[in-house]
Each structure stands twice: as structure tokens, then as C-alpha cells.
Structure 1
Amino acid sequence: MLTLRRLWSLDHPVWLCGFRSFFLFAVLSAPLLVLAWGAFIAWGVPLPATPGGAFVWHAHELLFGFGLAAVAGFALTAVPEFTRSPAVGPRAVRLLALSWLTGRVAFWASGAVGTAALIVSALAHLALLAGLIFLLAPRLWRHPERRHLSFLWALIALTLLVAGFYADALSGASPARWLHATLGVLMILIVVALSRISMRIVNASIDTWREKGGTLRDEYRARPPRRNLAIVCIGLYTAVEFVAPGVRLGGWLALAASAALFNLLNDWHVGRPLFRRWPLMLYLVYVLMASGFGLIGFALIGGDGAVSSGRHLLTVGALGLSVFVVVCIAGRTHGGYPLDERRWIPASAALLVAAAVMRAVAGGAGSHGVAWMSAASVAWVLAFALCCAYLAPLFVRARANGGVGCEGPPPTPDGS
């Protein structure tokens, strides 16, 4: 009890910066949620009874649980850094974290308790997003160039999607379409966020290559035209899939999104510096995203409507790997630590890529689908279990350098 009371205290390190509690939620929920889903798929272990059944519970928790925790942690850390404004205070962080936890408990209990729990879950999720907008919108709007307003639009879009999901759930309609649209918005947010992160990571790798005697003429630039084209194509596909799921037009737009993402990767082809762990992992996020939209496009144009394989390349692959990389980078640097160069990082990344590929294969594996899904679940759980073991303790521990803020350490010569 004393431990819990100490954890709730505002001077506990877990409330020091927004990323600490929310990245902790992300890395803990990732293996636990998929472990529960894998047990359900393989052995029929029951899941919480929620509106829409097991599929909706699974997608809701990975998007509004795991995904939203990662978004909140990133936004609470990146926006103050990008706008050069003070970190969000511990009291606000604790209230936002309580909203996230309340949303989990209430949604899980909604099948047993009924409408009241579903309403509480809706209010908790909306409170989290409204709190993020209230805290971050003034900073984004007051920034002289307003270069980062895309984060605000993404938060507003997520708020509308959460409201739509719960409106359908409370009315008895299937809320799955709101989850599919949420996935599209998260893909756009990943493109926006990685464009900021990649500028630092890739160019640091190029600098290291030059220091070692390598020759490279140009710096890496995340060019807005290519990025904006990808965002527009993803947005158009998401809109069409929302209003008219399964139509061939959605397939063509998904292929356009895939082509735009592969085109975006042309900016990344900088030679040997790309093949260092951090640039390469960021690069693979885009590869998985582009491949996912490509599979969706071919499925819709082919007329069978089997888009599960492509969607899981987006969720297990692009979303899972991007959250992993961001947690590893921001979670350590803003905690006062240099980046981790140990082997568990590429091992976990490889497990996540393998999980995405196996889950995509499961969509067309017929009677062997359960075995492929189970193997994918094991790979995902192992990847995030390693993440928990190596990173979770840092989120509840005082800063390594004795600091009290969210600032990161100076960059190291190798770009880490």
C-alpha cells in the first residue's frame, strides 16, 4: 500500500514527463493484450465481453489502448520540444494517465456492467484526448511558423473517431468502421512524426559515415511534397473505406497510397548510412506500411475483399515497429540516457517484422491460419517483453543525469 501511495505522489519520477507513464502503458499493454488474444485464438480462452465481440475488443485495445498510449506519450514529449515550451506538469500527466486507465477498466467491464460502463469508457477516452488538445493546442498555435499543427489536426481527428465509435457502440450498431478509420489516421500520424525523427537520425548516421572517411554529397531531407502526397492518398483511401467499405475505388486508392509511400522512400536512399540500426528500423516502418496498403489494394481490386493481411501489416508491422522505435529513442534520450546499442534492439525489431509477415501470411493460409497467427502472437509478445525488461524500469526511475526535466542528452558521434 505504501508503494502504491508513493507511486501516486506527484513527485514520483513516473509523472516527471508525459512519455514516462504513457510509454510504460504502451510497453506493458502490448504483450499482455496480444497474449490474451493469442490465448483466445489458440485455446478459446474467453475475452472480456464487449460491444462488437472479440474482434472489436482486440482492435479497440490495440488502437485506443496501446496506440493511444503511444500517441499521448509522444505528443506530451515532442510538442514541448518542437515548440520550445515547458514540459507538461506532473498533475496534468497524472490526470491524463488516470483517464487512460479508466478507459481500459470501463471498456473491459462494459459487457458485464452494461451501458453505464460504456459511457464511462467513452468519457474517459474523450477526456484524455480533450486534455491533450487543451494542453498542446496553444503551444502548437503560438509557434511562429505553425509548422507542427498537423499534430493538432490528428488529435482532433482521433477525438471525432473515438466519439463515433462509442456512439455506434451505445446505439447497438457495429463500431468496426471507426476502428478502421482510426488505423488510417494513425498511419498518417506515423508519417508526420517519423518525418521529424528521421531528419535527426538519418543525418546523424550520415555524419558518422563521413567521420569514418565515407563520402556522401547530400544531407537527408524529408521533403514535404512526397510526404504530403502520401498523407493525401492515405486520407482518401481511409475516407472511401469508411463510407463505402470493400469497393474497388478503395482498392485503387490503397494502391496509390502504397505507391506514394514507396516514392517517399526515395528520399531515404543515402547509401551505407541507411544500414545502421536506427535509420534502417525507421525505413522498415515505411516498407511495411507501403506493403500493407498494397495488399489491401490488390485484395479490393481482386474482388474478394480479404484485406486482413494488408491491415495486419499496418497494425502489427507499421504501428508496432514505429511505437517500438519511438519508445526506444524518445524514452531513453528524454530520460537522460544515450540510445541503447545492445543486441536486444535489433532482435526485437526483427521479431516485430517477423510477426507482421506471419500475421499477413495467416490471412491466406486457410486451415493453417491459426498456427501462423499463434506464431505471430508469440513473436510480438517476445519483442515487447524484451522492451518491458529493458525500458520499463527507466520510466519509473529518476533521471540518470540527475536532471528534473525532459531534455535529452547531447547527441553522440554515431548518431545515437
Structure 2
Amino acid sequence: MRFTTRDTLFDRLAARPLFMCGFRPFFLATAGYAVILLSIWLGFLAWGLGVPAVSGGPTVWHAYELMFGFGLAAVAGFLLTAVPEFTGTPALGRRVALGMVLLWAAARLAFWLSGTLGVVGEALAAVLNLGFLGALIALVAPRLWHDPERRHLAFLWGLGAMWLALAGFHADALGGLYPMRWVKVGVGVMMVLIVVALSRISMRIVNDALDAERLRRDGAAARRHGEDDDLPDYRARPPRRNLAIFGVALYTAVEFVLPGSVIAGWVALAAAAAVLNLLNDWHVGRALLSRWALMLYVVYWLMAAGYALSGLALLGVPVAPSAGLHLLTIGAMGVSIFGVLCIAGRTHAGHKLDMRSWVLLAAVGLVAAALARAASGLPGLPIAGLQAVSVAAWVVAYALAARYLGAVFLAPRPDSGTGCEEVLEEASPP
């Protein structure tokens, strides 16, 4: 690409392959920030190293950045690319991708410094973080709303709810209140967004796995003289999905209004049952054992287990409330985001899905991180050791993602594509 003397540094930077599509810088930032954030947290847990001073203390900094820093980076990368595809509208462009990731980075820096700068820092962090999410909503809302079928408005409602959770957090922080309750609201909204997003992605992944299984069975049937082994298509049915969304949203609301109550405990168990009911659509036989389908399937198990443990804790079972919460964040959120980075990130960058062993190693590491962190909340188990193992496993998993996916996001497409479309032809391995 040629540059002229009138091109600004911003233009020259935006012209790099990293900013070809919105998912590229945000997915790279997601993986890299996961490593940075949890490495700092490991230093705090294991050696007492300092973390940024924010309103509410170290745990609030960790939870906020995991949800509204790491989590929203992944959401932004997904929606900046998926919404134009879903609505049949033009890509948002390089300048938007660069501008949004710079705004995200500025919001991260502002929150890190918010405790040091006092009220001014708190206000700046609020403006930049709310401004980032508000800008994302402004970019995707017209496309989602004006789509003739309006099949994807759930993303817009989810983003609006997340903005309210973020606004509530900063209002509490500015008012001198402990703001963790709003992070928990953000967790609930994130679970809803995960269910909505995975319903779209799973239609492609599970049906691809079924196609591969049909080919295998066709060959086996031919050898058995024509035995019929036909398999039905997979469908993510709205009634089950909507029930799961309702259950998660209801628990989030009840826990916010009646924190620590027995009522919230029973609603949490109902939410777990609703998520497990959603899995009835997934029982497609051997095809479910393919790596991508199984990875997405595990997300729902982690989500259901997270709500189940949360409910049991509220009903008096001797387990720390944080056990269920971390199955949702480290587990369901961590594994689903990793899956989206691997699936949507590679295919929309012009690459076939990566079948190398590092993907399985990282996915298993994230599941192990969630289970170890949840186990640290059970009585009689070594809390510090399990927490350190959990954080270390998470860091290794996302370091692998940053290494192998970063090379994809920083490079031009290897196929004949010129934008954000899926892979157009067989590409050479990276």
C-alpha cells in the first residue's frame, strides 16, 4: 500500500494487516491481556506483589479487569466482525478497528491509575470505560436494529445491560461504595452473551462435525453392503436457549436484589437446570467428540456447574461462593473466548481451523484452571496451592493462544480474500 505525505501516523498504522478487521487487534489484545492480567495476579497471590490501587482493593481490580477488560475486548472483537456479517452490511473499516482498540487501551490505563489519581482518576476511568462500550454500541446498534429480520437484537440488549452494569460499578466507586455487586451483574450478562454467540457458532461447528461423521459412516456402510446410517442436522432451538437465558438473567437479578439469600440459591439451581436442558440439543453421538464441538459443549457444562455450585453455597452447603463464580469466569468465559479466538479468528483471517496439538493443550489447561480454582473453595483442600495452579494454567493456555494466533492476526491473509470474510480457499499452514 502506498503512502503520501498527507497520510498521518494513524493512517499508516491502520494500514497494517493487524487492523484489517476489528477482530484482529481485539483478539490479539484479549490473549495478550489474559496473560498480563493473570501473571500480575499470580505475583500478588504467590509473592504478595502489588497490584494497581483501585476503589475496592486488589480483588475488585482483578474481577473488574477480567470482566470489563479481558471479557469486553473479546466481545468487541467478535461483534465488530460478526455484526456486519450477520446483517449483510459493509465492514467497519481499519480506522474504526484502530480507534476502538486505542480507546480500550486508554480505558485500561485509566482504571489502573484510578486509585492513584483520586476522584479525578475515578471519573476519567468511568468516562473512558463507559465511552468505549458506548462507542461499540453506537457502531453496531444501527445495523442490528435496521436488519429486516432483526434476528440478532439479543446482542444489542446484552450490550445495553453490560453498559448499565459498568455504569453502576463506577457510580458505586465514585460514591465510596464497594462496587463488586456490579461485576457480578456483568458476569450474568456475559453468560447470556455467551449463550447467544455460541448458538450461532455451534450451528456451523456441530453440523461440520456431523458432516464428517456422515462421510465416515458412509464408508463404513458401504463396506457393510449399504446399511443406512443417516444423521439428522443439529439445530440450536430457541425455546431451550431462551429458557437458559431467562434462568441466568433471573438469578442475576435475584442475587443483586437479595444477595446471599436462600431464594437466590434456589434460582441458581434452576438456572443450572436450564443450561443443562439446553444441552439436549447437543446429543448428536460420536460427532460431539470432535475437538471444536466438544470444546463448545464443555462451556455449557462449566456454566451449569458454576450456577449449581453457587446455588448450593447459598443453600448452606460448605463450599465457598467463589467456587461457582470462578467456574463461570475462568471456566465458561475463558474456554468460550478461547474457542471463539481459535474458530472465528482463524477462519475470518483466511486460515483453516488449526488442528495442531497446542489447541488441545490450551483448552485442557483452561478447563483445569477452572476446576482447580473451584476446588480451592472446597473444605479441606489447599487454597493457595490450587489458586496458584489455576492461574498458572490459565497463563500458559493464553500465552499459547497469543503465540500461535498472534502470528495469524499480524500477517496478511494467505488466501485470495481481501477483507473479513471466511477462508476462501485452502491456505498453507502458518
Report if TM-score (shorter chain) is over 0.5: yes
State the match for 2:37 in structure 1: 33
Query: Across the two proteins, how many residue pairs are aligned to each other?
Result: 409
- Looking at structure 1, the residues matched to 301 and 108 of structure 2 have their Cα atoms a distance apart, in angstroms, of 31
- Pick from 345, 353, 371: which aligns with 2:367? 353
Please state if 1:400 is matched with 2:427: no
C-alpha contact 1:206 1:216 (8 A) present in aligned 2: no
Query: Residue 68 and residue 341 in structure 1: after superposition, are their counterparts in 2 closer, same or farther (change >3 A)?
Result: same
State the match for 2:267 in structure 1: 253
Q: CA RMSD in A?
A: 1.7
State the match for 1:311 in structure 2: 325
Query: Residue 398 and residue 411 in structure 1: after superposition, are their counterparts in 2 closer, same or farther (change >3 A)?
Result: closer
Query: Residue 162 and residue 8 in structure 1: after superposition, are their counterparts in 2 closer, same or farther (change >3 A)?
Result: farther
1:144-187 CA-to-partner distances (Å, cap 9, x unmatched) read: 11000000001111111111110110111011000000000000
How far apart are residue 212 of structure 1 and its match? 1.6
How far apart are residue 410 of structure 1 and its match? 4.5
How far apart are residue 366 of structure 1 and its match? 4.9
C-alpha contact 2:318 2:378 (8 A) present in aligned 1: no
Where do 1:29-108 residues align within 5 Å? Answer: 29-108=33-112
State the match for 2:276 in structure 1: 262
C-alpha contact 2:11 2:95 (8 A) present in aligned 1: no
> What's the TM-score once normalised by structure 2's chain length?
0.92
Unpaired runs of at least 5, structure 1:
none
1:234-265 CA-to-partner distances (Å, cap 9, x unmatched) read: 00000011111100111111101100111110
Tell me the amino acid that sits aligned with residue 89 of structure 1.
G
State the match for 1:386 in structure 2: 400
- Looking at structure 1, the residues matched to 416 and 407 of structure 2 have their Cα atoms a distance apart, in angstroms, of 16
Tell me the amino acid that sits aligned with residue 196 of structure 1.
R
Q: Could you tell which deviates more after superposition, 208-217 or 136-145?
A: 208-217
Secondary structure of 1:81's aligned partner: helix
- Pick from 186, 191, 195: which aligns with 1:191? 195
- Looking at structure 1, the residues matched to 411 and 189 of structure 2 have their Cα atoms a distance apart, in angstroms, of 33
State the match for 1:244 in structure 2: 258
C-alpha contact 2:417 2:423 (8 A) present in aligned 1: no
How far apart are residue 402 of structure 1 and its match? 4.9
Please state if 1:202 is matched with 2:206: yes
Q: Could you tell which deviates more after superposition, 263-272 or 124-133?
A: 124-133
C-alpha contact 1:246 1:305 (8 A) present in aligned 2: no
User: Greater RCO between the two (CA within 8 Å, min separation 6)?
Assistant: 1
C-alpha contact 2:342 2:405 (8 A) present in aligned 1: yes
1:186-241 CA-to-partner distances (Å, cap 9, x unmatched) read: 00000000000000000011011111225243111100000000000100000011
How far apart are residue 395 of structure 1 and its match? 1.3
How far apart are residue 38 of structure 1 and its match? 1.1
C-alpha contact 2:349 2:408 (8 A) present in aligned 1: yes
> What's the TM-score once normalised by structure 1's chain length?
0.95
How far apart are residue 403 of structure 1 and its match? 3.0
1:55-81 CA-to-partner distances (Å, cap 9, x unmatched) read: 000001100110000000011111111
Unpaired runs of at least 5, structure 2:
1-7, 219-228
- Looking at structure 2, the residues matched to 220 and 133 of structure 1 have their Cα atoms a distance apart, in angstroms, of 31
Secondary structure of 1:114's aligned partner: helix
- Pick from 148, 152, 157: which aligns with 1:153? 157
State the match for 1:293 in structure 2: 307
C-alpha contact 2:28 2:409 (8 A) present in aligned 1: yes
- Looking at structure 1, the residues matched to 46 and 12 of structure 2 have their Cα atoms a distance apart, in angstroms, of 38
Query: Residue 374 and residue 7 in structure 1: after superposition, are their counterparts in 2 closer, same or farther (change >3 A)?
Result: farther
How far apart are residue 6 of structure 1 and its match? 8.1
- Looking at structure 1, the residues matched to 264 and 165 of structure 2 have their Cα atoms a distance apart, in angstroms, of 19
Where do 1:135-154 residues align within 5 Å? Answer: 135-154=139-158
C-alpha contact 1:282 1:325 (8 A) present in aligned 2: yes
1:260-307 CA-to-partner distances (Å, cap 9, x unmatched) read: 111110100000000000000000000000001000111111276831
How far apart are residue 365 of structure 1 and its match? 4.6
Q: Could you tell which deviates more after superposition, 399-408 or 73-82?
A: 399-408
State the match for 1:329 in structure 2: 343
- Identity fraction in percent: 53
Q: Could you tell which deviates more after superposition, 107-116 or 337-346?
A: 107-116
Query: Residue 312 and residue 387 in structure 1: after superposition, are their counterparts in 2 closer, same or farther (change >3 A)?
Result: same
- Looking at structure 1, the residues matched to 324 and 306 of structure 2 have their Cα atoms a distance apart, in angstroms, of 4
Query: Residue 45 and residue 273 in structure 1: after superposition, are their counterparts in 2 closer, same or farther (change >3 A)?
Result: same
Secondary structure of 2:232's aligned partner: coil
C-alpha contact 1:6 1:12 (8 A) present in aligned 2: no
- Looking at structure 2, the residues matched to 273 and 304 of structure 1 have their Cα atoms a distance apart, in angstroms, of 38
Secondary structure of 1:17's aligned partner: coil
1:72-115 CA-to-partner distances (Å, cap 9, x unmatched) read: 00111111111111111222222211111011111111121112
- Looking at structure 2, the residues matched to 305 and 99 of structure 1 have their Cα atoms a distance apart, in angstroms, of 39
- Looking at structure 2, the residues matched to 321 and 410 of structure 1 have their Cα atoms a distance apart, in angstroms, of 27
